[in-house]
């Protein structure tokens, strides 16, 4: 399909409804493969940016193993997207403080969604990266989440830590390690409420 037609379809899904219903999409999403941007990825990013300009909807960016965040943001910016309405996920796979600072300096939001996934990095690594961002004045750019989608991750199936881990285990740890209540409230409520609203 021509780009303008795909943009039009996304705009319709946000403004009118999806799949013949009046249920409207609330977020636009795309992402990049591990460590490269191919022509299909660039096309998708440009489509998403144009749809955001027409709708004001937030954008969620998938990163594969925490790579290509800046490159994706640069393409969105080139199209005129509002980066303050963009959230970058899965960066916990690549806990690089310089990279995190660059992302938030560009105006985007970081979702710390690898919490409890110690097979990649312990939570202490995420906490120290959050602390560095807060100390640099970027507490308004952090959101806490958890990237679980498989039934084995869920308590209801007798499996993993479940969706409540952030509130039950991680937030108490943040408090224990000196994060203020108002800062944590921003991570959980104020920050996502700001960039998800449109």
Using DSSP, state whether 152 is helix, strand or coil: helix
For the chain, how far is it from start to end, CA to CA, in angstroms?
27
The helix (H) or strand (E) run that includes residue 96 is none
Start-end of H helices in 106-190: 123-135, 165, 171-176, 181-185
**Which pLDDT value is given to residue 108?**
98
Task: Give pLDDT < 70 ranges for the chain.
Answer: none
CB 62 within 8 A of CB 29: yes
| DSSP β-bridge partners for residue 63 | 32
**Which pLDDT value is given to residue 53?**
98
**DSSP letter assigned to residue 169:** I
**Which pLDDT value is given to residue 57?**
98
Model pTM score? 0.94
How many other CB atoms are there within 10 angstroms of residue 148's CB atom? 19
How far, in Å, CA of 143 to CA of 109, rounded?
7
**Which pLDDT value is given to residue 150?**
83
Q: Please give the structure tokens belonging to residue 130.
A: 């959050």
Q: Please give the structure tokens belonging to residue 71.
A: 């490159």
CB 33 within 8 A of CB 40: no
**How far is residue 176 from each of residues 15, 148, 179, 181, measured CA to CA in Å?**
44, 25, 7, 11
Beta strands in 133-191 (DSSP E): 142-144
How far, in Å, CA of 184 to CA of 99, rounded?
22
**How far is residue 98 from each of residues 12, 82, 129, 136, measured CA to CA in Å?**
38, 22, 10, 12
How far, in Å, CA of 70 to CA of 91, rounded?
11
**Which pLDDT value is given to residue 134?**
98
Pair type for strands 86-88 and 59-63:
parallel
């Amino acid at each position: 399909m021509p780009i303008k037609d795909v943009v039009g379809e996304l705009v319709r899904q946000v403004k009118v409804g999806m799949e013949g219903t009046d249920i409207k999409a609330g977020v636009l999403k795309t992402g990049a493969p591990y460590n490269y941007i191919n022509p299909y990825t660039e096309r998708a990013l440009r489509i998403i940016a144009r749809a955001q300009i027409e709708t004001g909807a937030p954008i969620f960016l998938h990163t594969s193993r925490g790579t290509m965040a800046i490159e994706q943001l640069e393409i969105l910016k080139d199209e005129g997207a509002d980066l303050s309405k963009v959230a970058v996920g899965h960066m916990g796979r690549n806990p690089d403080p310089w990279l995190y600072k660059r992302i938030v300096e560009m105006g985007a939001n970081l979702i710390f969604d690898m919490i409890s996934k110690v097979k990649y990095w312990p939570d202490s690594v995420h906490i120290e990266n959050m602390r560095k961002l807060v100390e640099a004045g970027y507490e308004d750019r952090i959101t806490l989440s958890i990237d679980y989608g498989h039934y084995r991750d869920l308590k209801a199936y007798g499996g993993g830590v479940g969706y409540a881990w952030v509130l039950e285990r991680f937030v108490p740890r943040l408090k224990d390690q000196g994060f203020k209540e108002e800062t944590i409230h921003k991570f959980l409520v104020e920050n996502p409420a700001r960039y998800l609203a449109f």
